């Protein structure tokens, strides 16, 4: 595991965007696994700037997002589909046909999860998976549990995740209770993983996930077992790691 310390959020975003850009330059037809949440927004902005400057071409790139709320349609401004189009896809020259987000409107969970796993496989797997880190150690919507859920599955969101996400909704009652998410196995099959973390509120979980025990009680801790993980975090998020 490589830990790259950034000064602050802006620096973290530049460094993370640089790693994603390098992947696209080295393999123009790569598959990027993407994340939503507040942490990657700055990195997406930097990628858009590189594209606008003529330094990046996304025309051959395919993407597979980590997760989507079940029950939200694409037009809902809180859906991850909407988020990805707003922050990245509509601002670069990616072919929309090559962008993939789990279909939150598919009511048959088994069917949608199988479809998504097969889709990732048909793309040849994910080259670089971008991840944010939840305060409870979740990655995607893989919440603390007794076992690692391996494949794409439908989850019941925990109270702490509902609480953390309510800032994006009119009220806590509007936060969906279920989501589709890549499983831990799906994430671990990515050839490379890039984790972004920013802010003091992430310091404790960063230390626990990357320096503590590997346990499904802290889902991100499994990343310690992956051969190619880069964590780009700012000084505040790294303030509790053992030095």
Cα maximum dimension of the chain: 48
Report how many residues bind ligand F6R under the rule CB under 6 A: 14
Q: How far is the CB of 34 from ligand F6R (least distance, A)?
A: 8
Dist CA 237 CA 235 (whole Å): 6
Q: Which helix (H) or strand (E) holds 163?
A: helix 159-165
Of residues 222, 46, 215, 54, the one with CA closest to residue 139: 222
> Which one among 15, 16, 33, 37 touches ligand F6R, defined by CB under 6 A?
37
In this structure, what token pair is assigned to residue 162? 């509902």
The C-alpha angle with vertex 80 and arms to 13 and 106, in degrees rounded to 5, equals 155
Q: Which of 5, 136, 204, 226 is catalytic?
A: 136
Please, what is the minimum distance in Å from the beta carbon of residue 133 to ligand F6R? 6
All residues at 6 or more sequence positions from 32 whose CB lies less than 8 Å from its CB, including other chains: 20, 23, 24, 61, 62, 63, 64, 126, 127, 128, 129, 130
Determine if 66 is a binding residue for ligand F6R (CB under 6 A): yes
Name beta bridge partners: 195. Answer: 131, 231
**Is position 35 an interface residue for ligand F6R (rule: CB under 6 A)?**
yes
Q: What is the 3-state secondary structure (H, E, C) of 184-234?
A: HHHHHCCCEEEEEECCHHHHHHHHHHHHCCCECCEHHHHHHHCCCEEEEEE
Binding flag, residue 138, ligand F6R (CB under 6 A): yes
Please pick, from the candidates 139, 194, 206, 222, the single residue that binds ligand F6R as defined by CB under 6 A.
139
Binds ligand F6R by CB under 6 A, chosen from 104, 132, 137, 219: 132
Q: In the complex, what is the shortest distance from the CB of residue 186 to ligand F6R, in angstroms, rounded to a whole number?
A: 12
When asked if residue 36 is in the footprint of ligand F6R (CB under 6 A), the reply is yes
Dihedral pair phi/psi, residue 171, rounded to 5°:
-150, 165
Tokens coding 122? 């048909």
Closer Cβ to ligand F6R, 38 or 59, answer by number: 38
Question: Does residue 104 touch ligand F6R according to CB under 6 A?
Answer: no
Of the pair 55, 156, the CB lying nearest ligand F6R is at 156
Rg value, the chain, Cα: 17
**Which region among 3-11, 105-113, 136-144, 146-154 touches ligand F6R (by CB under 6 A)?**
136-144
Q: Which of 112, 117, 143, 234 is catalytic?
A: 143
Question: One of 67, 68, 112, 234 is an active-site residue; which one?
Answer: 67
Active site members: 67, 136, 138, 143
Residues at the interface with ligand F6R (CB under 6 A): 35-39, 66-67, 132-134, 138-141
């Amino acid at each position: 595991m490589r830990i790259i310390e950034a000064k602050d959020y802006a620096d973290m975003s530049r460094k993370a965007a640089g790693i994603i850009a390098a992947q696209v330059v080295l393999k123009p037809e790569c598959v990027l696994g993407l994340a939503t949440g507040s942490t990657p927004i700055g990195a997406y902005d930097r990628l858009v700037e590189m594209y606008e400057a003529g330094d990046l071409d996304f025309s051959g790139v395919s993407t597979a997002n980590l997760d989507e709320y079940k029950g939200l349609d694409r037009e809902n401004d809180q859906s991850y589909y909407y988020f990805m189009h707003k922050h990245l896809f509509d601002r670069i020259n990616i072919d929309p046909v090559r962008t993939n987000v789990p279909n939150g409107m598919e009511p048959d969970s088994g069917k949608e999860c199988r479809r998504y796993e097969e889709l990732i496989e048909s793309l040849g797997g994910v080259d670089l998976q971008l991840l944010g880190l939840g305060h409870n150690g979740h990655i995607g919507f893989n919440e603390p549990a007794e076992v690692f859920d391996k494949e794409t599955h439908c989850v019941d969101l925990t109270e702490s995740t509902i609480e953390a996400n309510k800032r994006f909704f009119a009220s806590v009652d509007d936060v969906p209770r279920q989501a589709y998410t890549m499983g831990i196995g799906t994430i671990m099959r990515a050839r490379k993983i890039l984790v972004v973390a920013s802010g003091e509120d992430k310091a404790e979980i960063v230390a626990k996930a990357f320096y503590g025990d590997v346990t499904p009680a802290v889902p991100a801790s499994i990343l310690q077992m992956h051969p190619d993980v880069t964590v780009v975090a700012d000084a505040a998020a790294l303030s509790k790691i053992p030095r």
